[in-house]
Amino acid sequence: MSRKSTTLLITTSVVIIAAVAFFTSNRNNPPSDQVTGAIGTVDKYRSEQITPSDVDIQGQSPTSDDVFATWLNDTATLEELAGFMGRLSPQERLKFFDRATPEMAAMIIERATVAEKASVFNRATPEERAAMVARMTPDERRTFLGKANVADVAAFEKMSVTEKSAILDRLTPAEKATILERAIPAEKAVALGRCDVSERAIILDRATVAERAQVLGRATPSERASLYERCTPAEKAAVANRMSIEGKAAVLDRAAVAEKASVFDRATPSEKVTMYDNLTVQEKTVVLEKTNITIESFARQSLDERAAVLSRATPEARAQLLDRASVQAKAEIFARAPEMERAQIFERAIATERANLANEKSTPTMEKASAASN
| Cα 79 to Cα 73, 101, 322, distances in angstroms | 10, 18, 33
59 backbone φψ class: left, alpha, beta (φ>0; ψ -120 to 50): left
Is 50 exceeded by the pLDDT of residue 367? no
| 272-288: average pLDDT | 93
| 154-169: average pLDDT | 90
Based on the domain organization, do 162 and 267 belong to the same domain?
Answer: no
Cβ-Cβ contacts under 8 Å for 260 (sequence gap 6 or more):
252, 315, 318, 319, 322, 323
Alpha-carbon gap, residue 27 to 45, rounded angstroms:
18
Is 80 exceeded by the pLDDT of residue 101? yes
Domain count within the chain: 2
Q: Is residue 42 part of a domain?
A: no
Based on the domain organization, do 208 and 293 belong to the same domain?
Answer: no
Q: Is residue 21 part of a domain?
A: no
- With beta carbons less than 8 A apart as the criterion, state whether 192 and 105 touch: yes
12-16, 86-90, 356-360: range with lowest mean pLDDT: 12-16
Is 70 exceeded by the pLDDT of residue 258? yes
Is 90 exceeded by the pLDDT of residue 125? yes
Q: Each residue of 318-334: pLDDT tens digit?
A: 999 999 999 999 989 99
Describe the crossing of helices 327-335 and 257-264 by its angle, rounded to 10 degrees: 80
Based on the domain organization, do 150 and 241 belong to the same domain?
Answer: no
Q: Each residue of 63-76: pLDDT tens digit?
A: 444 445 555 555 66
10-14, 101-105, 122-126, 213-217: range with lowest mean pLDDT: 10-14
Is 50 exceeded by the pLDDT of residue 98? yes
The residue out of 219, 241, 269 marking a domain boundary is: 219
Based on the domain organization, do 198 and 314 belong to the same domain?
Answer: no
Q: Which of 313, 309, 308, 318 is nearest to 262 (CA)?
A: 318
Q: Is residue 29 part of a domain?
A: no
Based on the domain organization, do 265 and 344 belong to the same domain?
Answer: yes
Q: Is residue 35 part of a domain?
A: no
* Confidence (pLDDT) at 339: 80
Is 50 exceeded by the pLDDT of residue 31? no
pTM over the 0.95 mark: no
Q: Is residue 289 part of a domain?
A: yes
Q: Is residue 20 part of a domain?
A: no
Q: Which domain holds residue 280?
A: 233-362
The residue out of 194, 219, 244 marking a domain boundary is: 219
Based on the domain organization, do 156 and 277 belong to the same domain?
Answer: no
DSSP state at residue 112: S
Q: What share of the chain is helix, strand, coil (3-state, %, to 5)?
A: 70, 0, 30
Based on the domain organization, do 161 and 113 belong to the same domain?
Answer: yes
Q: Which residue has the higher pLDDT, 88 or 67?
A: 88
* Confidence (pLDDT) at 356: 60
| Average confidence score pLDDT of the chain | 76
44-48, 144-148, 201-205: range with lowest mean pLDDT: 44-48
| Cα 117 to Cα 102, 109, 122, 124, 146, distances in angstroms | 16, 7, 9, 11, 21
Based on the domain organization, do 207 and 243 belong to the same domain?
Answer: no
Based on the domain organization, do 356 and 249 belong to the same domain?
Answer: yes
Percent of residues, the chain, with pLDDT higher than 90:
34
- With beta carbons less than 8 A apart as the criterion, state whether 57 and 1 touch: yes
Q: Is residue 82 part of a domain?
A: no
The residue out of 196, 219, 242 marking a domain boundary is: 219
The three state secondary structure string of 89-101 is CHHHHHHHHCCCC
Based on the domain organization, do 214 and 239 belong to the same domain?
Answer: no
Based on the domain organization, do 179 and 239 belong to the same domain?
Answer: no
Based on the domain organization, do 214 and 94 belong to the same domain?
Answer: yes
| Cα 201 to Cα 5, 97, 133, distances in angstroms | 46, 9, 27
Q: Is residue 324 part of a domain?
A: yes
